[in-house]
Every structure is written in structure tokens, then in C-alpha cells.
Amino acid sequence: MRVTQSMLSANSLRNISSSYNKLNQLSNQVSTGKKITKPSDDPVVAMKGMYYRSSLSEVEQYKRNLSELYLWMDNSESAMDQASSGLDRVRELLVQGKTDTNGKDERNAIAEEINQIKEDLVNVGNTKVNGKYLFHGTDVSNPPVTAGDPPQVAANLTDGLIDSYKVEVSSGVTMKANVNPATFNQEMFDVVQEIQDKMANNDNTGLDDLLTRLDSVMNSLSSEKSELGARYNRLEMVESRIDAQEVLANKVLSDNEDVDMEVAITNLSVQQSVHNASLSVGAKIIQTSLIDFLR
């Protein structure tokens, strides 16, 4: 096969061009820290990257959902603690008002304090987070309690026609964000109102029955607090698992796309040497032509 000058020049230019491309690819890897800068560089890596990013985005969304759950549970716990303190004080006042040493004035003072606690219970029952009512299940736009004597609980709570507010924490898995929608029930406000009325009317009859009813309300509230605590513990375990998934997802994504910087720099140095040698040899080949001999 006859090798001509044009063939040598064309091959030399093609190889130098290929060397430039390789040099550019390695330079991009070093400067960006990524194996590829566009899908055509490596379609397999690009496709896997899309899948891994989708998984990572899903994990990040679940983490945002966990933050919402923490917000609901923390505020629910705080609200129920406040309600428990109020009911404890009502119980103290009831026991105090039962004694015969109290007269009309003392019981009027007790009634006034109980009225203030009742109004606070209404405010607690209507606690909102991010514009949503905590204690009204999925009916987050409407207040569950209306002030009055006694305060009135929403009909859908009384009838049990309301669902719990749930948040997805992983694929196909949801957790209840709120406590039982009927935690602040009509019985709570009725018994507090009746105690207030008894004190205001200086009537000490039937107080033992009211004390029993009040204890039942307080026990129900305590049970809800315990159930919330159990769900909070589960939420912390779910958070640990999601955190582990996030670390793994980031690692897989990094292994797929991030370049080994030490290897990339070494390859770039080697390619620079090869490229310089190609340029040197190519220059000698291209310069040697018939015109050079005729000079």
C-alpha cells in the first residue's frame, strides 16, 4: 500500500484532534468534578443519574414531611400540656370550693378563675399551626371549638365524622400528625361549665359527681398524651431510617457521577504529555514536503 504525504498529514491531524477532545474531556472532569457534562458523554451514567436523583428527591420530600409531623406533634404536646395544667387547676379549685368554710364571695372568685381557664381551654382547642387547626382532624380550615357558656364543639367531632390528618413518611406509609380529633370534646367543656355554675351560684351539691367526671376527662387527655408520645418515638425511628437512606442515596449518586480527582488529574497530566508529543511529531511530518526538498 502506497502511503502519501496527504495520508500522513490527515492521520496526524485526526489523531491530534482526537487528543484535543480527550484533553478537553479530562479538563472538564477536573474542573467540574463530574464524570460527564452532557448525556452523550456516557448515556448509561446519565440514565442512572436521573434515577438516583429521583430517589434522592423523594427522600428529601419525606424529610420535609417529617418536619411537618414534628411541628404538629410538638405543638399538640405543648397544647395538651397547657390544657392539662388548666384542668389540674380546675380540680384544685373544685376541691377547694367543696369545703363548707367557703362562702358566696369565695366561690364567686373561684367561678371567675374557672371562667378564665375555660376561655383558655377554648383557645388551646383552637390552636393553629401554619394556618391549620391542630385538633380538628382533616377539617383544618374550621375551628373545632366555639366560645360560649358552655363552649360548643364542632358537630363533626361530636358525631365522630372526621378523619385524622395523615402525612406520608415513606412509599405507601403514612403517620397520623394530630391527636384524636375529639380530644377537646364536649364533655370537657360541659363539666368545666357546670363546675363554674355551681361555684357562681354558691351551690355545693353534686360536686362529687362533677369531680368524678372531671377526673375522667383528665384521664382521657392523659391517654392521648401517652399515645402521642409513642408516635413521637416512632417518628424519631422513621427519621433515623430516612437519614440513612439520604446518606446512601447521596453516596450512590456520587459514585455514579463524581470523578476520582486523583485519577482524573493523573490522566490529564499523562494526556498533556501525549498531546505535546503528538504535536511535536505532527509538526515534523507536516513540514516535510516536496517544497522543503526543492529549497
Strands 132-133 and 128-129: antiparallel
Question: pLDDT grade, residue 249 (50/70/90)?
Answer: confident
Q: Is the pLDDT score of 101 beyond 60?
A: yes
Give, as one character, the DSSP assignment of residue 16: H
- For the ranges 93-97, 162-166, 242-246, which has the lowest average pLDDT? 162-166
- The DSSP secondary-structure symbol of 259 reads -
| Cα distances (Å, whole numbers) of residue 237 to 171, 181, 233, 244 | 16, 25, 7, 11
The model's confidence at residue 286, banded by pLDDT at 50, 70 and 90, is low
| CA dist., res. 248 & res. 59, Å (int) | 10
How much of the chain exceeds pLDDT 70, in percent?
76
Query: Mind listing the pLDDT tens digit for each residue in 70-92?
Result: 998 999 999 999 999 999 999 99
| Residue 266 pLDDT exceeds 80 | no
**Residues 295 and 61 sit within 8 Å (Cβ to Cβ):** no
pLDDT (tens digit per residue) in 163-203:
778 888 887 888 888 888 778 888 999 999 999 999 999 88
Chain mean pLDDT for the chain: 81
Residue 268 binned pLDDT confidence (cut-offs 50, 70, 90): low
Can you name the CATH fold of 50-253?
A: f41 fragment of flagellin, N-terminal domain (1.20.1330)
Domains of the chain by residue range: 50-253
The residue-averaged pLDDT of 39-52 equals: 73
Beta carbons of 122 and 151 less than 8 angstroms apart: yes
Nearest partner of 55 among 261, 260, 259, 256, judged by Cα: 256
Q: Tell me the mean pLDDT in the region 134-144.
A: 86
Identify whether the C-beta of residue 132 lies closer than 8 Å to the C-beta of residue 167.
Answer: no
pLDDT-based confidence at residue 6 (cuts at 50, 70, 90): low
15 vs 205, residue with greater confidence: 205
Are 216 and 206 spatial neighbours (Cβ–Cβ below 8 Å)?
no
Quick one: which of 184, 208, 187 has its CA closest to 94?
Answer: 208
Backbone phi and psi for residue 42, each to the nearest 5 degrees, phi listed first: -160, 95
- Residues 94/100/103/107 CA torsion (nearest 10 deg): 10
Tell me which of 115-124, 222-231, 259-268 is least confident: 259-268
Which residue type does 74 have? D
Packing angle between helix 207-257 and helix 43-98, nearest 10 degrees?
A: 170
Q: Which amino acid is at 232?
A: Y
Q: What is the pLDDT of residue 189?
A: 93
DSSP code at position 258: B
Most confident of 18-27, 44-53, 117-126, 279-288: 117-126
Confidence of residue 5 (pLDDT cuts 50, 70, 90): low
Task: Tell me the C-alpha distance between 278 and 189, whole Å.
Answer: 90
